[in-house]
Structure 1
């Protein structure tokens, strides 16, 4: 297509929201002009379902739960006055708690203000807060933020080493809806031990964000933690960033959470439009449907041309892949749906995988995110007439053109600057796009049976590990190959799992398991305490 023709298509397809200064450009998606009209009946059905969801319909039938993350930034839309008041009260509590910490009214036991913030969570309880912290943080933050976002001991040791002697002035926020998520539970216990080893009382440094009467809620109450804020069962982890899950860490960091919520709220209003051309989330969902044939046939590559958006692809991986990656549709038909998401940042990717994107297997579509404002204040000229930011813009435009020349499709989202409002808008935009796309492909975006299956499988492995350790301690004079152990436990079919468990146990001193090398690695012999 000639450049002037592309310009005309750009003008015809460009969505722009003046209030948010946000644009969505679908001109580099090669769907025909008739596509929107052809998809209109399905999209109107999706709008109806989204309206029902916002009105309080049961959207997660597995657990008989409503899905109400939209109410978090517009409490008046909640289906009951009681829910609306809870949302307002929680926001007020978040602000009050953060203010008390900043003013030193809630302080470290030594009387000094808390200077560091350790957030313990996983999945949606970490990815959202991490994205906000990284995208909006600065040297002027009220508190320096650290994360335990896995159950990796070495990773936690690394974080604790970075905090160092600052642990005595570190506030810990533990986030878990159920209170029983093992990774978060482990992170809390590791944090507790670090505080105790430093001669500090953990409860005097801890606050919880959790469900009412959860295991974590009871622990915080019994031990006298500094506070507890609610997580509701109608807010899923991957859409919880505008609840206390994301708002408390952000407020403590010093981020303007009112502006974050305002940006999300304005975008929510825009994405409620029943006019497809005036709804940016609908335009995204339709672009995804076109690019993937409605079957996940292509991957989504996210290329934000801004360092502060580096973690956006990780955040969207959970939001999109956990919501859309489903074996069955809502009618019980096997569909194997989903969209694979990956990305890093521009222009770094031009020195990484753009070569393949342009000339390799065409199994993807790209989402570019353009940020118009380079930095606060003026930039130096790196050569006559050009700044570093001009180069970044040039690389974005060049990559977009180079890909389109090779029939690689892309969507471009443009925002004026990185701010709490624009980050809130991006979050809301993708939350709605995911919901609409899920309706188009007839899957339930609000449950995650695969995640629960993985947790159950992990529990089975740990139960087997307990049986192995018990057998080793019962027969300390004997050494076992993995095959010996599997047979002794009457679990011959689990020999591979037994081998993996034994090898891990022997590599770590915690359980006192030793190993004697065999001729082949699977012939190694394991024993207790030799």
Structure 2
């Protein structure tokens, strides 16, 4: 297509929100002019379903729950006045608590101000707060933020070492809706041990974000933690960043959470439009449907040309893949749906995998995110007439054109600058796009049976580990191969799992298991260490 034709197509397809200074350009999506009109009946159905969801319909049928993350930035839309008051009260509590910490009224045991923040969570209870912290953080932050976002002991040791002596002035925020999520529970216990090893009392430096009367809520109450904040059952983890899950860490860091919520609220208003050409989330969802053929046929490569947005692809991986990756549709039909999301940042990507994107397997579509403002203040010229930021912009435009020349499709999202409002708008934009796309492909975006299956499978492995340890300790003088042990436990079908467990046990001193290596590793022998 000639550049003049592309310009006309650009003008015809560009969405721009002057208030948010946000644009969505789908002109590099090669759908026919009739595509929007053909999809309009299905989109109108999606809009109606979204309206019903916002009015309080049960959307998570597995757990008979409403899905109400939109109410978090517009409490007046909550289905009951009481629920709206709860949302407003939670926000007021978050802001009051953060102000008290900053003023030193809530302080460390030595009456000095808290200067560090340790956020303990997993999945949506970490990815959203991490994205907000990294995108909006600066040297002027009120508190320095650290994360336990896994159950990796070495990773947690690394974080504790980075905090160092500052642990005594560190406030811990533990985030878990049920309080029983094992990764978060483990992180809390590891943090508690680190505080105790430093001669500190964990409860005196901890707050919780959790469900009412959850295991974590009861622990915080019994131990006298500094506070608890609500995590409602109608807010899913991957859409919880505008609840206390994301707002409490952000407020403590010093981020303007009112502006974050305002950006999300304004974007929500735009994405409620039933005029498709005036709805940026609908334009995104349509682009996804076109390029993936409504069956996840292509991956989404996210290319944000801004260092501050490097964690956006990780955040969207969970939001999109956990919401859309479904075996069955809402009618029980086998569909195997989903969109794979990956990405890093521009122009780093041009030195990583853009070569394959342009000339290799055409199994993707790109999403460019452009930020017009380079930095605070003026830039100097790295060569006559060009700054570093000019080069970044040039690389984006060049890569977009280079991909299009090879018939690689892309969408470009442009914002003026990174602010709490624009970050909130990006979060809301993708939340709504996911919901609309899910309706178009007839899957439930608000449950995650595969995640629960993985948790159950992990529980089975840990139960088997307990049986292995009991058997080895009962016969401390005997050496077992993995096959011997699987047969002794009457679990011959689990021999590979038994072998994996034994290798892990032997690599760590905690359980006292020794390994005598054999030339063929699977024939190695294991026994309990003699005391």
The normalised TM-score by structure 2 is 1.00
User: Runs ≥4 in structure 1, deviation > 4 angstroms?
Assistant: none
1:183 aligns with 2:183: yes
Q: Distance in 1 between matches of 2:464 and 2:82?
A: 46
Aligned to 1:175, what secondary structure does the other structure show? strand
Cα displacement (A) at 1:518? 1.7
The 5-angstrom pairing of residues 407-418 of structure 1 reads 407-418=407-418
1:106 aligns with 2:106: yes
Q: Distance in 1 between matches of 2:475 and 2:219?
A: 37
The 5-angstrom pairing of residues 82-481 of structure 1 reads 82-481=82-481
The 5-angstrom pairing of residues 503-514 of structure 1 reads 503-514=503-514
1:380-407, Cα deviation, whole Å (9 max, x unpaired): 1000000000000000000000000000
Cα displacement (A) at 1:27? 0.2
Q: Distance in 2 between matches of 1:179 and 1:475?
A: 37
Q: Distance in 2 between matches of 1:471 and 1:80?
A: 56
1:482-524, Cα deviation, whole Å (9 max, x unpaired): 0011011000000000000000000000001011112310111
Q: Distance in 1 between matches of 2:379 and 2:503?
A: 55
RMSD of aligned Cα (Å)? 0.4
Q: Distance in 2 between matches of 1:485 and 1:159?
A: 38
Aligned length: 530
Cα displacement (A) at 1:345? 0.2
Q: Distance in 1 between matches of 2:482 and 2:216?
A: 37
| Aligned position for 1:521 | 521
Q: Distance in 2 between matches of 1:361 and 1:352?
A: 15
| Aligned position for 2:4 | 4
Unmatched 5+ residue regions in structure 1?
none
Q: Distance in 1 between matches of 2:485 and 2:226?
A: 47
| Aligned position for 1:15 | 15
Cα displacement (A) at 1:101? 0.3
Aligned to 1:174, what secondary structure does the other structure show? strand
1:10-54, Cα deviation, whole Å (9 max, x unpaired): 000000000000000000000011100000000000000000000
Cα displacement (A) at 1:474? 0.7
Q: Distance in 2 between matches of 1:518 and 1:15?
A: 65
Q: Distance in 1 between matches of 2:229 and 2:77?
A: 21
| Aligned position for 2:31 | 31
Q: Distance in 1 between matches of 2:106 and 2:219?
A: 20
| Aligned position for 2:80 | 80
Aligned to 2:389, what secondary structure does the other structure show? helix
The 5-angstrom pairing of residues 54-73 of structure 1 reads 54-73=54-73
Aligned to 2:98, what secondary structure does the other structure show? helix
Unmatched 5+ residue regions in structure 2?
none
1:220-262, Cα deviation, whole Å (9 max, x unpaired): 0000000000000000000000000000000000000000000
1:487 aligns with 2:525: no
1:43 aligns with 2:43: yes
Aligned to 1:365, what secondary structure does the other structure show? strand
Q: Distance in 1 between matches of 2:53 and 2:318?
A: 21
Q: Distance in 2 between matches of 1:260 and 1:508?
A: 44
Aligned to 1:164, what secondary structure does the other structure show? helix
Cα displacement (A) at 1:63? 0.3
Aligned to 1:527, what secondary structure does the other structure show? strand
Aligned to 1:367, what secondary structure does the other structure show? strand
1:90-120, Cα deviation, whole Å (9 max, x unpaired): 0000000000000000000011000000000
Cα displacement (A) at 1:416? 0.2
Q: Distance in 2 between matches of 1:203 and 1:99?
A: 20
Q: Distance in 2 between matches of 1:8 and 1:52?
A: 37
| Aligned position for 2:52 | 52
Q: Distance in 1 between matches of 2:385 and 2:518?
A: 68
1:311-364, Cα deviation, whole Å (9 max, x unpaired): 000000000000000000000000000000000000000000000000000000
Aligned to 1:178, what secondary structure does the other structure show? coil
